[in-house]
Amino acid sequence: MISIIGAGRVGTSTALMSVLRGLDSKIVLVDVVPGLARGEALDLSHAAAVLGIDVDIQGSEDFSIIRGSDIVLVTAGKPRKAGMTREQLVADNASIINDIAPKIREYAPDSIVIITTNPLEVMTYLMYKKLGFPRERVIGFSGVLDSARLAYYASKKLNISYSSIVPVVIGMHGENMLPLPRLSTICGIPLTQLLPENEIESLKKETIEAGATITKLKGYSSSYGPAAGLTLMVEAIRKDSNKLLIASVFLDGEYGQHDVVAEVPVILGRTGVKKVIELPLNENERKKFLESVESVKSLIKLLT
């Protein structure tokens, strides 16, 4: 069973994509807003009926409905508004994670938990500490979307399908993320060999500012991109595909870092994160990665 905590735009979009991909026979939505999760579940159930997809979709304000879930997606939290950074959400969203974590631990103690709440790495760190689960089962969603955005912008510059690009973005999901064009490739050829320096700088800037651009244009943060990324992660777990994705995980010595969550490549399968991949960073990339990690650490300090 897949449970989604938070029946807002990201949560409901993820539920819809999960239904369309046939990821589970039962999907549960939970939200504290009276009637919201039940209404969205009913609407989604009608959509499934129209499409002839047999799936049980339920909604509730009662967290006990997630009992026995093997995957829990946490999309709850205050969204970013225009002109607002993800980091400004720390205090408000930390209180939401503090409230949700004990309920997941009580009703779904064997689940793999994936978090989208911003600031992503900080909320993943807090969830990991509050749950007490193995780090392999507490994962922050971010890198799948960040790297896909890099692929999208590179594809437009090179006039090539973005599915042909293997993109790499690490560090954190925020203004201090680190796009790595040198390690992002097309048929093994680095983007730095295919684009001039000014285009590479433009590519990095567009990738970093993508979320803010969407928020400015729409008036609220993105939903379809995060939902697509979450669905891809759930699919990798469900199929035990050992898929290489970029996600935010608790580091225990990787990249020389301890007691912090960072966005890095991982192998994802049925048990969650099976392996953290350490990239061959050059001196400048390593310096920028550490700067990104330090940004996360500074935000973590705001939790205490």
Question: Is the pLDDT assigned to residue 220 strictly greater than 90?
Answer: no
Range of the domain at 38: 2-140
Q: Which of 124, 140, 156 is the last residue of a domain?
A: 140
Mean pLDDT for the stretch of residues 111-126: 96
Q: Which of 140, 157, 188 is the last residue of a domain?
A: 140
- The domain that contains 83 carries what CATH number? 3.40.50.720
**Distance between CA atoms of residues 203 and 46, nearest Å:** 41
Which residues contact residue 197 at a Cβ distance below 8 angstroms, ignoring those fewer than 6 apart?
none
Give buried/exposed letters for 282-301 (b at 16+ CB in 10 A, else e). Answer: eeebeebbbebbebbbebbe
Instruction: Assess contact for 140 and 235: CB atoms under 8 A.
Output: no
Same domain, 123 and 186: no
Instruction: Assess contact for 169 and 263: CB atoms under 8 A.
Output: yes
CA 8 to chain centre: 15
Same domain, 168 and 79: no
Same domain, 102 and 161: no
pLDDT in the model for residue 145: 96
Same domain, 161 and 113: no
Same domain, 135 and 201: no
Same domain, 177 and 297: yes
- The domain that contains 258 carries what CATH number? 3.90.110.10
pLDDT in the model for residue 89: 76
Q: What is the number of alpha carbons within 13 Å of residue 78 lying toward its C-beta?
A: 16
Same domain, 51 and 185: no
Same domain, 214 and 65: no
Same domain, 116 and 150: no
Same domain, 178 and 239: yes
Q: How many CB atoms lie within 10 A of CB 34?
A: 9
Same domain, 31 and 98: yes
Mean pLDDT for the stretch of residues 40-55: 98
Q: What are the catalytic residues?
A: 173
Q: Which of 86, 113, 140 is the last residue of a domain?
A: 140
Mean pLDDT for the stretch of residues 265-279: 98
Same domain, 155 and 295: yes
Give pLDDT tens digits for 66-113: 999 999 999 998 876 666 665 677 888 999 999 999 999 999 999 999
Task: Name the residue with higher pLDDT: 233 or 80.
Answer: 233
pLDDT in the model for residue 84: 61
Q: Name the domain count of the chain.
A: 2
Give pLDDT tens digits for 192-213: 999 999 999 999 999 999 999 9
pTM: 0.94
